[in-house]
Amino acid sequence: MKKVQHKKGFTLIELSISSLIIALIALVLIMVFRGNLTTWKWGQKHMEFNQQVQMIMKQIFTDLKTVNPVLNIDADGNLMFQGEKINDLFPNLVTIYDKDKDPQNGGEEIVFFQTSFTDINAKDRVRYYLDKEKLIREIEDYNGNKKTKVLAEKASDLFFKADPGDIRQVLIKLTVINEKNPEMKEKLDFAVRLETDLVCVKVVKQYD
């Protein structure tokens, strides 16, 4: 006579241990997922901030690189570059305004003109400055219309200097601060050389 074998099921202890193992695995997976999500969010914010910093550098660099001599028509109707004629001592200037009482750090504002070789009346005045921690790029056209753009909501230590060894080079320092995370900041220190004659850098003392 065959013996009937009863199928052995899981005991309560085995089920409890299995449930505990599954719960621990799930907890580990959740922690890993949260860690990866936090890292991704941090990387995303850092990348966005780096893109903003790169954009600011590119904007300043491009603006200064596109400074050209100013076209003028003299009394005889001749079209000439400003500063080209004999005794004409007024080329296109990139003017740095030193507004504090520390000439060693450079100027806090820079102003220059962007001109067109196809329209001698086209002459945009470009200005960079800080206004209540905001980095401002201001453009005024020859009709007096002004447009301002905030390049950074939080910035500090904006300084422009003339290179004593090169009258066509501008040295720029700036600290850009992440407005959402003030501990995240980037200190910029770079130079832009004006690639044309009849353009030079001038420092003007303008103490308040």
pLDDT digits (tens, 9 = 90+) for 136-186: 999 998 888 999 999 999 999 999 999 988 888 999 999 999 988 888 899
Residue 42 has pLDDT above 70, yes or no: no
pLDDT, tens only, 86-99: 666 667 789 999 98
Q: Find the Cα–Cα–Cα–Cα dihedral 148, 150, 151, 155, rounded to 10°.
A: 130
Q: E-assigned strands of the chain?
A: 71-73, 79-81, 92-98, 109-115, 123-131, 134-140, 146-152, 155-163, 166-177, 185-193, 199-205
Whose CA is closest to 48, among 166, 172, 196, 186?
186
**Number of C-beta neighbours around residue 160 at 10 A:** 28
Domain ranges of the chain: 45-205
pLDDT score at 208: 55
Residue 77 has pLDDT above 80, yes or no: no
pLDDT category at 100 given cuts 50, 70, 90 is confident
Pair of tokens at residue 95: 């003017």
pLDDT category at 80 given cuts 50, 70, 90 is low
- Chain centroid, CA 126 distance in Å: 16
